Amino acid sequence: MADHFVIQGDRPLRGVIEARGAKNAAFPILAASLLTKKECTIGNLPLIEDVFRIIELLKSMGAKVTWEGERRIKIKNSQIDPDQIRGDLIGLLRGSVLLFGPLLARFGNVKFPQPGGCIIGARPIDAHLDGFKQLGVKITKDGNKYLLSGRGSGGAVVLNEFSVTATENLMLFASLIPKKTIIKTADQDYQVQELAKFLKKMGVKIKGIGTHRLIIEGKRQLNGATHKIMNDPIEAGTFILTAAACKGDVLVKNVEVDFLELPLKKLKDFGVPCEISGKTVRVRPWKQLKIDKIQSLPYPGIPSDLQSAFGVLATQAKGSTLIHDPLYEGRLKYLEELNKMGAEIYFADPHRAIINGPTQLYGRELGSFDLRGGAALIIAGLIAKGESIINNIYQIDRGYEKIEERLQKIGAAIKRVKN
């Protein structure tokens, strides 16, 4: 049996907890370091499994990585051999798809297996491949591997969907093209905006940051850059929703409020007192909770990565709540585990469910299917009566640094059991 969490639920949460570096912003910035032979310095890295994996992928190709402090690295990619990349890690990590763009831009060809990641439904890379094709890249498939060749010559791309990683991949690719590249239907979430800031420091000209139309003018040779990664809006949102579900009195620090405006507004509308001051959010106990609908949508909508935490909160709300995640058909798997705990949830289809509440949850042994669903089950365990055991916590460790230690500091009775 692998490591698992043991939670004694129904305990009051009080105190201060803070968000750390943004996981999903770290991936493209680490990938962007491949665009130059000069040294880059990246700070505020979250110490989580997925970041360690990306760094291992870079090192397997020849990157020189030096840790300057607990969360800060210097990285130099002057001698890189893409043929030496560890294929086993690519198969485990969805974020590895972001290496396509910079390696293709630098070497003119790449060969990669299908990236892996969370089991939250079909996550094809069609939007990436279609975007590359529109920029003149030739793509063939050899077994389970993709072969991409071509350096691109600028032009316009219309993405088939608001894909964060496809937008980032094309931004990375366009950064070494000394002509204008226009990306339409671009995603505009925090990861994309953070990558744009880093690329500008490297010498790339970018217009339209924060919009759905990006204009990028790259250079054949880019500079090194120093950058401190923003704090994680999703982690902050998870802690805010944890406090709300537990009717806690918790101050959450390092909150990137600009990227959580709608979730915070919704919480207030639902009846959760939230006091926002600068980059802190204080959650206070609510008296009555009523939720009508939670629908996850691309930014500035409610992030799909917070939908599951909202789903747990909905089990404590009066009446019926519709949960709708149109993005991933596997995102609602965690609701099956909540039903085991005593929730009253009915599935309309893989994307929609009705949660009737309020219901008392009871501790059970649960399985974590994916990163965000696993975090939601921790929240469920914290509000449940009795003991909960959460298995497959490696999925949670992929995105939350020592989450049990941080929750313990605000009163949670959660411990990691090693095997």
Q: Which of 140, 210, 131 is nearest to 174 (CA)?
A: 131
Whether residue 246 lies in the annotated active site? no
Contact yes or no for 262/275 (Cβ under 8 A): no
- Alpha carbon 28 to chain centroid, angstroms: 11
- Alpha carbon 73 to chain centroid, angstroms: 21
Strand partners, 324: 295, 352
Q: Of the residues 40, 118, 246, 274, which is catalytic? A: 118
Backbone angles phi, psi at 305, to 5 degrees: -70, -15
Distances 315 to 19, 290, 321, 334, 363 between C-alpha atoms, Å: 25, 10, 8, 13, 14
Backbone angles phi, psi at 151, to 5 degrees: -100, -10
Q: What is the DSSP string of 31-73?
A: HHGGG-SS-EEEES---SHHHHHHHHHHHHTT-EEEE-SSS-E
Q: Which of 9, 4, 7 is nearest to 248 (CA)?
A: 9
Contact yes or no for 351/332 (Cβ under 8 A): yes
Sign of CA dihedral 341, 342, 348, 352: negative
In whole angstroms, what is the distance from residue 29 CA to residue 194 CA?
A: 8
In whole angstroms, what is the distance from residue 250 CA to residue 356 CA?
A: 26
Q: How many helices (H) and strands (E) does the chain have?
A: 14, 23
How many other CB atoms are there within 10 angstroms of residue 209's CB atom?
17
User: What are the residue numbers of the active site?
Assistant: 118
